[in-house]
A = this chain, B = another copy of it.
């Protein structure tokens, strides 16, 4: 699956968040495309080599440009990796937002099912990259850049819960955090050790439990 185009739908729906600032604002189509190609190239290298062996030269090579060009768009390796990470997380948040909107009238249990489904989809879309990217993020201490996107996801959920008729909890934000965490960490075990059906039902149960608090 291709890395999503930069500048996702969610922007129209939520307050702006601080963006990664690539060296040069990709205004022309050419640039836009190259930035996207670069993210995609990065993804491929990351998946095939793992964080430690992800090397700028190879990213350039698989993307079909020169190292110099990479640095024209991203001032550092870190910024490139982080941009990819942000892009993926944003995609996931958008995906979640879309689905929540669509099921805004479902009861808590239905909601849990939706959330579980979204989580499993996101997981399948990114299985390997995100793993590698998380290493990268810690290793480079670039969490700071990711925090906003994560926070955005939490806000989304928090807001949703607060306005949801079925939700009776007193700490919607904590709940949002917990749900986010369930979404990001359970899919792997569930799909690696069980069938798809099972995975969904079990994850749903966990999310439901979380929503009840």
Contacts and interface: CB of A to CB of B under 8 A. Distances in A.
Interface of A: 50-52, 131-132, 134-135, 138-141, 171, 173-174, 177-178, 180-182, 185-186, 188-190, 192-194, 198, 201-202, 205-206, 208-210, 212-213
Contacts of A51: 135, 138-139
State the copy count for this chain: 4
B198 A178 contact: no
Contacts of A209: 205-206, 208-209
A76 B208 CA distance: 45
A60 to B, nearest CB: 16
A194 B206 contact: no
Contacts of A190: 174, 178
A49 to B, nearest CB: 10
B181 A185 contact: yes
Contact of A189 (B132, B177, B198): B177
A140 B49 CA distance: 10
A177 B189 CA distance: 7
A189 to B, nearest CB: 5
Contacts of A173: 193
